[in-house]
Structure formats: C-alpha cells, structure tokens
Amino acid sequence: MRSRFSAFCRGEAAYLVETHEKSARGPDALRDVLKTIRETEWTNLIILGAQRGGARDQEGHVEFAAAFKQKGPGLIGGGAADGFQQMRERSFFVREEGRWLYVDGDQLPPHQPKRNEPCWCGSGKKMKACHG
C-alpha cells in the first residue's frame, strides 16, 4: 500500500501496473496510470486501518486517506479551498507468489480529523488552522 503510494508520487507507472492484480486491471491500465501520474500531485497518505494482510494471510484490506492536488490548466479542484482534495478508500489486496497486489477499492466519505489533530493534507498544521 505504502509502496504503491510512493510509486504514484514518483511516477513509477510500470510498478503500479505490475502490482495491480491481473484480472482486475483493465486493458488500458498503463495509459490510465500515466494519466493519473500526469494530472495528480500527491501530498499525504494516512493509513486509517487494516484487516488481515499479515505474514500468513493471502488477502487483506487497507483503509487510507490520500491528499492530492490536480495538476494542469483547466482542472478545478473540489475539497479544500486551496485545491487540496482527498481520496479515502478501503482497498482490497491479494497475495500472489509472496507479493501483495491491489485488486480494487471502495470509495468512502472524506476522513475528517478533529480540530486539534494534524490536517489530512500533510501541511503539518492543525485541522482548525489549515485551509483557512
């Protein structure tokens, strides 16, 4: 999960396609990944929970909130006033030959930290002091 987030940040498209479970990825997987990399600047990852996914498991779920900004002209950001957006997802992973592969995920409503907790965008500011 974290390695896929890092790969999105670094633009490692081949790794992202390889770690997307074969039957779950579409015929245009590489093109889609390249488009996402081109249009998205990822700024933060918060792991909110995990079920299974341990050394003896063959599958697992990870719930996360990822903050991002859209890049490029003509893209209008929703979410926070300064263009930060959040994707919260509960992802499903399977293990094949010792390697964790992303299958798919369910989108969830945005994660909302409490006022005195760090903001989800990765600024390091408290929630109440961010996006003012």
d(CA 25, CA 22): 5
Amino acid at 87: M
Hey, which residues between 5 and 24 contact Zn ion (CB under 5 A)? none
Would you say 67 and 83 are in contact if contact means Cβ atoms under 8 Å apart? no
Taking CB under 5 A as the rule, does residue 119 contact Zn ion?
A: yes
Q: Give the residue with the Cβ less far from Zn ion, 61 or 111.
A: 111
Q: Give the residue with the Cβ less far from Zn ion, 101 or 119.
A: 119
d(CA 17, CA 128): 38
Give the nearest distance from C-beta 83 to Zn ion in angstroms. Answer: 11
Which positions touch Zn ion (CB under 5 A)? 119, 121, 123, 130
